[in-house]
Amino acid sequence: MNHKSITIALAGNPNSGKTTIFNCITGTRQKVGNWPGVTVEKKEGTVSKYGYNLKIIDLPGTYSLTPFSVEEIIARNYVLEECPDVVIVIIDASNLERSLYLATQLREIDCKVIFALNMADVARARGLKIDADKLSELLDLPVVFTVGNKNKDIDILLQKAIELAESKSEIPQKRKVKYSKDIENSIAKLQSFIEKKIAVKFPYNTRWMVIKLLEDDRILKEHIVQKTGNNSQDIIQEAQALRKKLVDRFDEEPEIVMTDERYGFIAGIIKEVLTTSTKNRIDISRNIDLVLTHRFIGFPIFIFFIWAMFQLTFSLGAYPMEWIGIGVDGISALLESFLSESLLKDLVINGIIAGVGSVIIFLPNILILFFCIALFEDTGYMSRAAFLMDKIMHLIGLHGKSFIPMLMGFGCNVPAIMTTRTLESKKDRILTILITPFMSCSAKLPVYIILTGTFFSAKAGTVIFAIYLFGVIAAVVSGRLFRSTLLRGADAPFVMELPPYRAPMLKSVLIHMWDRGKMFLKKMGGVILIGSVVIWFLSAFPRNIQYSVDYAAEIVGVNVLYETKIKVDAKVDDRSCMQSIEEERDTAIRKIKLAQDAEKMEKSFMGHIGKKLAPLFAPLGIDWRGGVALLTGFVAKEIVVSTMGILYAVEEEESDAFQKAIISSGMTPLSALSMMLFVLLYLPCFATIAAIKRETGSLKWMFFSIAYTTSLAWVVAFSVYQGGRLIGLN
Ligand code: GDP
Ligand code: MG
């Protein structure tokens, strides 16, 4: 078949995507060589499409067509002399202004031009909106959006290019750069001069030639001399005379004036076709940053946000927490009444539901915390917080960025450790992971509340604050220590990116929140489930315990005692009196059951382990029961309290009884303090350990973290307890 041939040249700035689009069009059918006489690469390809033989040329990338560099000369000469049927100007749409300069110059040469607004994806991502129809109308040429590296809309571009090549219409002359009056006058004069003077037909349009002569274009002058011989001197002289006039008029070389005017023309186009939300946003962002990252004001505002976040997390979270608690209790009670007494029932209620329930109750807090953090991230405030904290974090040898995981650590260490992925340097990441567990997570709070409530009632708040602070200090000191030993390395300077502030989109915030919440649920769910079953097993076995007291007989005794009491008092026939007797009886029975539970626990595997470990905890002022409670905290810190509740044979809700029981167990304010410090510092929970393993990718760091935190906890608790005793506290 004899197809018609069309030559298409691709012009554009370097990196605008010419070669990418060239490859899209030609595929493998391309020939790579050099432009004659120079080492600039020339790519040419042919392809048959839409019934045409297309010859595609990838011109060298240039910013302009002033003949200063080899590339510019090649590109210009090709367009001028080879007269391709169409020139596709590949425009970097994300850099419209710079790209349009070359495009405008190409437009001045008489050739058919079509614009490809490439990098349309980048432009969109930067918030740039280009009105292609308007641009097309203003310059009177076809405009197509493309995404070269995705091969998007390249076919449309090609079709339009062929259409343009085939169209018989004149190349539009109107929508070109119009220069100021003096220049246009000079152009007109020189144009008529040349048209009168020379019979030789130049391959390029006269207006363009005149403009270049007024710009004193060296290459063009050479061409004219070559083509017209003697006549050329007249033309060049006339051009020089006009140039001189223009220099007098503008006090500047005409080429500079004309360049300025081209940019003015471009600025006008840009104003018409480009709307940018970015520029505005950056200005607004800058103003907001004047306040939010201000040296003095920024910090209190930051503290306020953090405070507000914790307030929201704990006070707002308290409601759904209560509902879930009621739900879990309800399920528990339901199963209690429906299932018949068996080992399985015990496992389900006291193992699985108690264990998983105690964790799921924290889901609302976690979700609210993640919601706030997602909000900080999506608005762009998080990087400002990191920026503010940068100086302080350098005390540990870390960047401000590491502050984010540490902050999240106050909520839950698992997602906190997952956030360290945002840190570029591996050493920074490991260092941050190692110190994050010292940020006292929310699950440890119930332990502090109970112990401070018992022993430091008046100063409970201060003591809890001091413990949190101590955690931060432990993190700072450990950080410094690791940085100067295990994880040596300068904290390389880096530029903190401050992206423009954005209004958060609820949907994306919710998605971020849920993504993290899901991870929490998955990790915690699986790990807690296993852990709960293990703890349940350790405390439920062995089954055949020789109790020191016959609890069953005691319960029968109580029942009998109260039955007679009721019979006696029934004569009085006082409803309320009877009710109080019944309550009294139930309390007595509950006490017996709790005592039985305590003895069961003492004689269980867990109790045995606790007693074995007792010598380890004794120097810290913690008895075997405390030791067992701490051990169960390995699964999740909130279990510490419930274990204590079982071991001290009280019900959690009866805080009075709990306090009495703890005090009667021989615990003192000093040993309570020692225990709280131990809880603060000692080994992270199961889920956190799993996260550490995953994020460091090494068992070595996981075991190191376990060993380091636990030994530090022991040493600190030991020092506080023994030191306190030395100076006569107890
Ligand atoms: P040339 O210098 O004009 O030949 O540009 P190239 O074709 O070599 O492209 C420069 C870079 O831009 C390459 O990494 C391309 O993958 C990339 N690129 C090309 N077109 C697009 C586009 O439309 N969008 C994006 N995001 N990248 C592109
Ligand atoms: Mg290229």
- Interval between CA 277 and ligand 2 midpoint (Å): 30
Per-residue confidence (pLDDT) for residue 497, from 0 to 100: 55
- Residues 130 and 217 reside in one and the same domain: no
Half-sphere exposure (CA, 13 Å, Cβ side) for 73?
14
Ligand 1 proximal residues by C-beta, below 6 Å: 12, 14-20, 61, 118-119, 121-122, 147-149
Task: With a cut of 90, say whether residue 701 has pLDDT above it.
Answer: yes
- Residues 266 and 301 reside in one and the same domain: no
- Interval between CA 268 and ligand 2 midpoint (Å): 29
Mutual angle of helices 426-435 and 460-484, in 10-degree steps: 150
- Interval between CA 122 and ligand 2 midpoint (Å): 18
Q: Tell me: the pLDDT tens digits for 393-408?
A: 877 778 777 887 888 8
Q: What is the full DSSP assignment across 487-535?
A: T-------PPP-PPP-PPPHHHHHHHHHHHHHHHHHHHHHHHHHHHHHH
Read off the pLDDT of each residue in 39-67 and give the average, rounded to a whole number: 89
The most confident of the ranges 47-56, 333-342, 425-434, 635-644 is 47-56
Query: What's the total number of domains in the chain?
Result: 4
Q: Which of 368-377, 634-643, 649-658 has the lowest mean pLDDT?
A: 649-658
Cα–Cα nearest to 387, from 297, 492, 298 = 298
Q: Which of 20-34, 146-160, 490-504 has the lowest mean pLDDT?
A: 490-504
Mutational test site, ligand 1, from 20, 98, 152, max ligand atoms within 8 Å of CB: 20
Decide if 459 is inside a domain.
no
Per-residue confidence (pLDDT) for residue 573, from 0 to 100: 62
Report the nearest atom of ligand 1 relative to the CA of 18: 3
Q: Which ligand has the minimum distance to the alpha carbon of residue 22?
A: 1
Which helix H or strand E contains 117, and what residues bound it? strand 113-118
Report the nearest atom of ligand 1 relative to the CA of 152: 23
- Interval between CA 149 and ligand 1 midpoint (Å): 6
- Residues 158 and 19 reside in one and the same domain: yes
Decide if 560 is inside a domain.
yes
pLDDT band at 654 (very low <50, low <70, confident <90, very high): low
Q: Which ligand has the minimum distance to the alpha carbon of residue 157?
A: 1
Per-residue confidence (pLDDT) for residue 7, from 0 to 100: 96
- Interval between CA 147 and ligand 2 midpoint (Å): 15
Which helix H or strand E contains 16, and what residues bound it? none
Per-residue confidence (pLDDT) for residue 500, from 0 to 100: 65
Query: Alpha-carbon distance 45 to 28, whole Å?
Result: 8
Helix (H, G, I), strand (E, B) or coil at 118: strand
Beta strands in 161-311 (DSSP E): 274-276
Report the nearest atom of ligand 1 relative to the CA of 120: 23
Query: Alpha-carbon distance 50 to 29, whole Å?
Result: 16
Read off the pLDDT of each residue in 61-75 and give the average, rounded to a whole number: 85
Read off the pLDDT of each residue in 200-216 and give the average, rounded to a whole number: 84
Report the nearest atom of ligand 1 relative to the CA of 21: 7
Decide if 624 is inside a domain.
no
Q: Which of 148-157, 253-262, 480-489, 573-582 has the lowest mean pLDDT?
A: 573-582
- Interval between CA 19 and ligand 1 midpoint (Å): 7
Please report, in angstroms and rounded to a whole number, the separation of the first and last CA atoms in the chain.
Answer: 104
Per-residue confidence (pLDDT) for residue 199, from 0 to 100: 66
Record the tokens describing residue 677, joined without a space.
């410090």
Per-residue confidence (pLDDT) for residue 498, from 0 to 100: 65
Radius of gyration of the chain (CA): 41
Report the nearest atom of ligand 1 relative to the CA of 16: 3
Nearest CA to ligand 1 atom 22: 119
Query: Alpha-carbon distance 491 to 399, whole Å?
Result: 7
Decide if 646 is inside a domain.
no
- Interval between CA 150 and ligand 1 midpoint (Å): 10
Cis ω on the peptide bond leading into residue 364 (within 30° of 0)?
Answer: no
Q: Tell me which DSSP letter residue 143 carries.
A: E
Nearest CA to ligand 1 atom 20: 148
pLDDT band at 619 (very low <50, low <70, confident <90, very high): very high
- Residues 201 and 263 reside in one and the same domain: yes
Record the tokens describing residue 649, joined without a space.
């044979």
Report the nearest atom of ligand 1 relative to the CA of 58: 4
Q: Tell me: the pLDDT tens digits for 443-484?
A: 888 788 878 888 887 787 888 888 988 999 999 899 889 988
More confident call, 24 vs 325 = 24
- Interval between CA 281 and ligand 2 midpoint (Å): 33
Q: Tell me: the pLDDT tens digits for 224-245?
A: 888 777 778 888 899 999 999 9
- Residues 319 and 426 reside in one and the same domain: yes
Query: Alpha-carbon distance 207 to 698, whole Å?
Result: 72
Percent pLDDT > 90 in the chain is: 21
Query: Alpha-carbon distance 665 to 658, whole Å?
Result: 10
Decide if 472 is inside a domain.
no
pLDDT band at 155 (very low <50, low <70, confident <90, very high): very high
- Residues 107 and 224 reside in one and the same domain: no
Per-residue confidence (pLDDT) for residue 295, from 0 to 100: 75
Per-residue confidence (pLDDT) for residue 602, from 0 to 100: 79
Decide if 220 is inside a domain.
yes
- Interval between CA 62 and ligand 2 midpoint (Å): 10
- Residues 8 and 151 reside in one and the same domain: yes
Decide if 516 is inside a domain.
no
Pairing type for strands 113-118 and 4-12 reads unpaired
Read off φ and ψ for residue 550, nearest 5 degrees.
-85, 90
Pairing type for strands 128-130 and 274-276 reads antiparallel
CATH classification of the domain holding 264: 1.10.287.1770
Nearest CA to ligand 1 atom 1: 15
Q: pTM here?
A: 0.52
Task: With a cut of 70, say whether residue 2 has pLDDT above it.
Answer: no
Domain containing 82 equals: 4-166
Mutational test site, ligand 1, from 149, 150, 151, 153, max ligand atoms within 8 Å of CB: 149
Nearest CA to ligand 1 atom 6: 17
Cα–Cα nearest to 105, from 258, 273, 270 = 258
- Residues 259 and 298 reside in one and the same domain: no
| Contact assessment for residue 712 and residue 474, using Cβ atoms and an 8 Å cutoff | yes
Task: With a cut of 70, say whether residue 278 has pLDDT above it.
Answer: no
Percent pLDDT > 70 in the chain is: 90
- Residues 187 and 156 reside in one and the same domain: no
Task: With a cut of 60, say whether residue 494 has pLDDT above it.
Answer: no
What rounded mean pLDDT belongs to the chain? 83
| Contact assessment for residue 452 and residue 463, using Cβ atoms and an 8 Å cutoff | yes
Query: Alpha-carbon distance 99 to 113, whole Å?
Result: 14
Last residue of a domain, one of 531, 564, 595: 595
- Exposure string of 167-194, with b = 16+ CB inside 10 Å and e = fewer, is eeeeeeeeebbebeeebeebbebbbebb
Helix (H, G, I), strand (E, B) or coil at 275: strand
- Residues 103 and 196 reside in one and the same domain: no
Q: Which ligand has the minimum distance to the alpha carbon of residue 11?
A: 1
- Residues 267 and 341 reside in one and the same domain: no
Cα–Cα nearest to 408, from 477, 344, 479, 313 = 313
Query: Alpha-carbon distance 621 to 619, whole Å?
Result: 5
Mutational test site, ligand 1, from 13, 15, 71, max ligand atoms within 8 Å of CB: 15
Q: Which ligand has the minimum distance to the alpha carbon of residue 154?
A: 1
| Contact assessment for residue 362 and residue 320, using Cβ atoms and an 8 Å cutoff | no
Q: Identify residues whose C-beta is under 5 A from ligand 2, the ion.
A: 19
Last residue of a domain, one of 166, 193, 211: 166
Per-residue confidence (pLDDT) for residue 572, from 0 to 100: 60
Q: Which ligand has the minimum distance to the alpha carbon of residue 12?
A: 1
Query: Alpha-carbon distance 386 to 388, whole Å?
Result: 5
| Contact assessment for residue 284 and residue 501, using Cβ atoms and an 8 Å cutoff | yes
Per-residue confidence (pLDDT) for residue 298, from 0 to 100: 85
More confident call, 598 vs 416 = 416
Decide if 667 is inside a domain.
no
- Residues 22 and 66 reside in one and the same domain: yes
Nearest CA to ligand 1 atom 12: 17
